[in-house]
Amino acid sequence: MSTATLHRWNEIEPEQLNPLLTRQFVTGTLAMFARVVLAKGCIVPRHSHPNEQITFITEGALRFDYDDGTSHTVKAGEVLVIPGNLPHCATALEDTIDFDIFAPPRQDWIDKDDSYLR
C-alpha cells in the first residue's frame, strides 16, 4: 500500500541555477511539481523534452516563444500546456514565480543533467 508524503517549500533547498533563476521540485512516481523563480530578464534557452509541461504563473509574466514564430505571454493566474517534444524558450518579462507540472518527471532535472539552465 502507498503512503502520502507531505512536502513544504520552505524545507526544500532552492537550487540557484544561474544568477536569475532558482528552482525547487518534488517528484512522485508519475509526475513532478516544480517551483521556479525567475528574475526579470531571465532567459530560459531553447530546449525541448519528452515530458508534457503544465505551467501556472502565480506572480509576474513569462513569454514562451516557439520555432514557428508564435508565442504566448503567460501572466499571473494563467496556465499554459506545452506538449512533449515541442521546442520552446522563455523570457521573464517581470520578476516571476512559476509552478510547473511535468509528466513524467524530468529525469534530466533529477540527474542535474540540465546544463542549458546553468
What residue type is assigned to position 30 of the chain? L
CA 76-77-78 angle, to 5 degrees, is: 95
State the burial class of residue 55 (Cβ atoms within 10 Å of its Cβ: 0-12, 13-18, 19+). Answer: buried
What predicted TM-score, i.e. pTM, was given to this entire model? 0.94
Q: What is the pLDDT of residues 12-32, one digit of tens each?
A: 999 999 999 999 999 999 999
Q: What is the pLDDT of residues 90-106, one digit of tens each?
A: 999 999 999 999 999 99
